[in-house]
Amino acid sequence: MKQNITLSIEKELIKKGKIIAAHKDTSVSKMIGNLLKDLVDHNERFEASRRNAIAILKKSYNLGGQIRWKRKDLYER
């Protein structure tokens, strides 16, 4: 379902946007809608990737290393 919104945009920007829209055989409204959709899609992909990365980090893969030193051996007091 589509819904109308009201935007406040500089007149000169609207004028230039209309020229670009005409060259692309579309409307300013459609261009703004597509830009917003792209932004939302990008954000959703980013958040999914972030959640995936956090899940991988929580598994804390063991790389086989062992700690063979003690803290007191590293720092003189």
| Domain membership flag for residue 2 | no
pLDDT at 77: 61
Longest dimension (CA), the chain: 74
| Per-residue pLDDT tens over the stretch 23-51 | 999 999 999 999 999 999 999 999 999 99
What integer best gives the mean pLDDT of the chain?
A: 91
Domain that holds residue 16: 11-74
Q: Which helix (H) or strand (E) holds 71?
A: helix 71-74
State the residue for tokens 């598994």: 59
Q: What's the rounded mean pLDDT across residues 1-22?
A: 96
The structure tokens listed for 71 are 């803290």
| Domain membership flag for residue 35 | yes
Q: What's the rounded mean pLDDT across residues 15-24?
A: 98
Q: For the chain, what is the domain count?
A: 1
| Domain membership flag for residue 61 | yes
For residue 73, give Cα distances in angstroms to 12, 27, 46, 54, 66. 69, 70, 43, 33, 16
State the residue for tokens 């946007």: 17
